[in-house]
Amino acid sequence: MIPAGVGRVPAGFPSPSQDYSDTKIDLTQMLIRDELSTFIVRVSGDSMEDAGIFDGDELIVDRSIEPHDGHVVVAIVDGDMTVKRLRVTSNGVVLQAENTEYPDVEVAELSDLMIWGVATTCLHHL
């Protein structure tokens, strides 16, 4: 457990009157819903930058969550693992890049697609 500081911290002018807390926070309790089904993966590449996911960030991925349209997922397409936004359309499944420099992945009907897990949190290093 980590000592808790303050509830909220203003990003503008600091307030010297802000109270500090001696309570502890448990990051596992705050960030993980199902410990047995949750993994941390490191992102490689910049295809998800517009979603705030950068090269080297870690994603908390929960394999127990049923993937739905709009979720950021870790998917395996024909043996290749990728992080993309899941889009379910009338024409099929699209794995959408969140960077205009990258094309979306339109999953062909005969492709082998497995949604490995749903990303719930991005741990972004400063």
Residue by residue, pLDDT tens for the chain (126 residues) are: 544 454 565 666 665 555 556 678 888 888 888 889 999 999 999 999 999 999 999 999 999 999 999 999 999 999 999 999 999 998 899 999 999 999 999 998 888 999 999 999 999 988
Question: Scanning the structure block, which residue is given the tokens 């979603």?
Answer: 51
Contacts of 123 (CB under 8 A, 6+ apart): 40, 57, 58, 59, 60
Q: What does the alpha-carbon distance between residue 126 and residue 119 come to, in Å, rounded to a whole number?
A: 20
pLDDT value for 2? 47
Q: Is residue 84 annotated as a catalytic residue, yes or no?
A: yes
- Active site residue: 37, 44, 84, 111, which one? 84
The structural domains of the chain, with segments of one domain joined by +, span 32-123
- Active site residue: 17, 21, 44, 47, which one? 47
Overall fold of domain 32-123: Umud Fragment, subunit A (2.10.109)
Q: Is residue 44 annotated as a catalytic residue, yes or no?
A: no
H-type alpha helices, the chain: 27-31
Can you give the pTM of this predicted structure? 0.80
Asked if 93 and 107 touch (Cβ cutoff 8 Å), the reply is yes
Structure tokens at 99: 């960077």
